[in-house]
Amino acid sequence: MDSRQIDLALRKQKLQMRADAQRADITRRLAGIDGALDRVDSLRDNLAWAKDKIPLLSVALLVVLAARPKLTLRLAKRAWVGWLLVRQVRGGRLSALLPTAIPLLRGLLALIKRRIEPSAGSGSAAPRRRRTG
């Protein structure tokens, strides 16, 4: 064989090895993104379903509005605050978001705490330990 052909074969082999290493590196780096992309696909599918069912969802919203106006108003307020928060985050104004988000997070944590802790006035007693003997 000619020395030029040997040099070309060695260069080809080095390039193939480097391409394999780069392929393995990209696969390793993209492994964490796969789950996020699956969630985005699921959200997109759910939004497509909701888009197809707009008349049904509108009727359901009107029924809830007529039956439970206070609940509807409370949910509308929360949705509006959520929309404002999303707009501020998208604009990159995180510093403007903090004064609004802190009281909301405190309220959310208080709500979760109330839901988790058993109420004292509910009449339910703590579970008794069984005696084994």
Please list the rounded mean pLDDT of every run of 10 residues in the chain (133 residues). 89 96 90 81 87 87 84 83 79 64 75 69 56 60
> Could you tell me if residue 44 is inside a domain?
yes
> Could you tell me if residue 60 is inside a domain?
no
What pLDDT sits at residue 116? Answer: 75
Q: Which residue range(s) make up the domain with 94?
A: 69-116
> Could you tell me if residue 123 is inside a domain?
no
Task: Tell me: do 48 and 74 sit in the same domain.
Answer: no
> Could you tell me if residue 111 is inside a domain?
yes
Task: Tell me: do 1 and 48 sit in the same domain.
Answer: yes
Q: Tens digit of pLDDT for each residue in 93-111?
A: 656 666 767 777 777 777 7
- C-beta of residue 72 within 8 angstroms of C-beta of residue 65: yes
Q: Tens digit of pLDDT for each residue in 108-131?
A: 777 777 777 765 445 555 555 666
Domain count, the chain: 2
> Could you tell me if residue 59 is inside a domain?
no
Task: Tell me: do 76 and 111 sit in the same domain.
Answer: yes
Q: Cβ of 95: how many Cβ atoms within 10 Å?
A: 8
> Could you tell me if residue 87 is inside a domain?
yes
- C-beta of residue 62 within 8 angstroms of C-beta of residue 72: no
